[in-house]
Structure 1
Amino acid sequence: MEEKLNKILTKIEEADSVLIGASNGLSISEGIHIFAENADFLENFGDFRKKYGFRSIIQGCFYPFPTEEEKWAFFSRMYNYFLYNEEASPVMKNLYELVKDKNFFVVTSNIDDHFRQAGFPRDRLFEIEGNCRNLQCTIGCHDQIYPGDEILSEMAEKQENGKVPADRIPTCPECGGPMQVHLEVDRNFLKGEAWQKSLQAYQDFIGSAHGKKIVLLELGVGARNQLIKAPLMNLTHQEEHATYITFNRGSELYIPEAIATKSIGVDGNLAEVLQQLAQEK
């Protein structure tokens, strides 16, 4: 393992650019598992589990709550759960330490906004499915995405019996209609100007890396993931000087034969590996 980690550090150091692709496995390494009915879920969302029957945070995100008061109770509590600690986790601090001096970009399906919390600049980040702290008009009457920290934290604090007071529920400042968290949980997800700008920055980064040494640093992305993993593997195949570095556990660690000679796979505890890499950098 020591030899493999040294090789990873060398590849990152020699790279002209580093593209980070991250999904649920990275969040799990921080202690957040949105797909699990674990002790943490029951402690923080047990009343929702009892009342509505859903068994994980991700199921709650897609649940058709009967009222706005109940919907916002869940989403404000989820916001509070993800971002209650204002300081970034050791996992995210180590990741930032590993790449902060490089020309990097991040593409992620994680919705907890922990990259920005750790210091990753907004203009180097494409959150494909949105994040838990921004709001949008549900009917999409206009393109604006709104910061929701103040509203969400207040709703999390004021809720009682699984509901928030009706007078705390946000309405669209343009049309007066309902709002929702800017997450891709339904067809209302707004892929407006801000989202398109991030997508373009992602594409521009890839374009600028063409023909140069690029490291594709993949963190906790499932073996069958088509949103992040497939594009990163395709890019590795297309770029002569690319190195594909993937971190995962067991059967989720997948490297196709076509890019095996340009790849490094690490099967292990992601939090521990990132800490070791950051320390040895």
Structure 2
Amino acid sequence: MYYFDTDRMMSEGLKVSFDHKIEILKEQLECADAIVIGAGSGLSTSAGYTYAGQRFHQYFDDFYKTYGISDMYSGGFYPFDHLELFWGFWCRQIWVNRYAPIPSNLYQKLYAIVKEKEYFVLTTNVDHCFQRSGFDKQRLYYTQGDYGLFQSSHPQNASLHKTYDNYESIRQMIEAQGFTIGPKGELISPTNKEVSMYIPTELIPVCEDDGQWMTTNLRIDNSFVEDEGWHQASNRYHAFLTKHEGAHILYLELGVGMNTPVIIKYPFWQYTKENPHAFYACLNKGEAYCPQEIANRSICIDGDIGAVLQKLTT
């Protein structure tokens, strides 16, 4: 078994090459009894889900020119005056990041690496790429919501713990704006006219259980709905950890930043510290590090996740 002893290497002035780190990670992937994947936004960014630049302007240039919105993330918090406009923005956001084709095969590469292993995925991503790429639904825990779900804007009574599939509703909004949806789900802008930034009033989604306006099922405040599926996934995740307690577990952290470190990063560090047979791997461009307490059972690779997975599969 490989151990990446950071303390020794620093004290002796040694450097570990990128290729050597890849070999260490390969060994851990092969010999681990179980793998817990912790995935953050950096993984989806590496897969092509960029929220600014060319991809943003391809679908939201009218919002940029009219409101100065420069990226999808900040646009999600813009104080639109009308629900017709709010959903005009959000239906595109949801479609291109949840229902349109995944920009690359990065998630499929990751699945090919772990599919024969005992694995579980904990993720703060809301784009559903894991399940769409072949991962077992029973081994996925989406902690922060799902672009593919609505919830009541004021959950109460029957809607308090309930979410609602939004595919048909979002599709109707998209087509009402003037877009065409291709055979693979791709969003196609018309060539002979401008698309509308608004949706028709009658397409504003209303909760069937409480009569309130619908909103996105994303954890932005304490009104976030943790439905039955969310709780079942949470229970399966913690059961997986309990089942493999004390075993050789690889905690594989992919693209997790410091926005919500208490969900993935800090627990992974703590689990590794408490289990002398555990190993921690961090893949993150610009933010690959670990505490000194677990440095001798960790590998941190600062680089593009896609490039690392490519190396692991060749």
> Under a length normalisation based on structure 1, what TM-score does the superposition of the two structures give?
0.91
User: Equivalent residue for 1:8?
Assistant: 25
Q: How far apart, CA to CA, are the structure 2 residues paired with 1:9 and 1:57?
A: 35
Q: How far apart, CA to CA, are the structure 1 residues paired with 2:58 and 2:254?
A: 27
User: Equivalent residue for 2:188?
Assistant: none
The reply to whether residue 66 of structure 1 matches residue 76 of structure 2 is: no
User: Equivalent residue for 2:237?
Assistant: 202
Q: How far apart, CA to CA, are the structure 1 residues paired with 2:296 and 2:24?
A: 14
The reply to whether residue 18 of structure 1 matches residue 54 of structure 2 is: no
Rg larger in structure: 2
User: Equivalent residue for 1:186?
Assistant: 221
Query: Shift of residue 115 of structure 1?
Result: 1.0
- SS at 1:94's partner residue? helix
Query: Shift of residue 216 of structure 1?
Result: 0.4
The letter of the residue matching 2:56 is F
- SS at 2:279's partner residue? strand
Query: Shift of residue 88 of structure 1?
Result: 7.1
Q: How far apart, CA to CA, are the structure 2 residues paired with 1:85 and 1:272?
A: 24
Segment drifting more, 211-220 vs 263-272:
263-272
Which of 75, 100, 104 is the aligned partner of 2:90?
75
User: Equivalent residue for 1:148?
Assistant: 166
Q: How far apart, CA to CA, are the structure 2 residues paired with 1:89 and 1:14?
A: 28
Q: How far apart, CA to CA, are the structure 1 residues paired with 2:165 and 2:262?
A: 29
Which of 106, 111, 116 is the aligned partner of 1:91?
106
- SS at 1:218's partner residue? strand
Query: Shift of residue 87 of structure 1?
Result: 5.6
The letter of the residue matching 1:147 is D
Query: Shift of residue 176 of structure 1?
Result: 2.0
- SS at 2:113's partner residue? helix
Query: Shift of residue 60 of structure 1?
Result: 1.8
Structure 1 portions without partners, runs of 5+:
none
Asked whether the equivalents of residues 126 and 142 of structure 2 are also in contact (C-alpha less than 8 Å), the reply is yes
Aligned pairs for 1:244-255 within 5 A: 244-250=280-286, 252-255=287-290
User: Equivalent residue for 1:40?
Assistant: 55
User: Equivalent residue for 2:130?
Assistant: 115
Q: How far apart, CA to CA, are the structure 2 residues paired with 1:256 and 1:125?
A: 27
Which of 49, 72, 78 is the aligned partner of 1:57?
72
Which of 248, 253, 274 is the aligned partner of 1:238?
274
The reply to whether residue 263 of structure 1 matches residue 280 of structure 2 is: no
Query: Shift of residue 161 of structure 1?
Result: 2.3
Query: What's the CA shift string for 1:108-154, capped at 9, x where partnerless?
Result: 11121111111112221111111211111221122222221121122
- SS at 1:139's partner residue? coil
Task: Give the number of aligned pairs.
Answer: 276
Asked whether the equivalents of residues 88 and 118 of structure 1 are also in contact (C-alpha less than 8 Å), the reply is no
Q: Percent identity?
A: 34
Query: What's the CA shift string for 1:236-256, capped at 9, x where partnerless?
Result: 111111110111123x11111
Structure 2 portions without partners, runs of 5+:
1-17, 178-194
Q: How far apart, CA to CA, are the structure 2 residues paired with 1:6 and 1:81?
A: 36
User: Aligned-pair RMSD on alpha carbons?
Assistant: 1.8
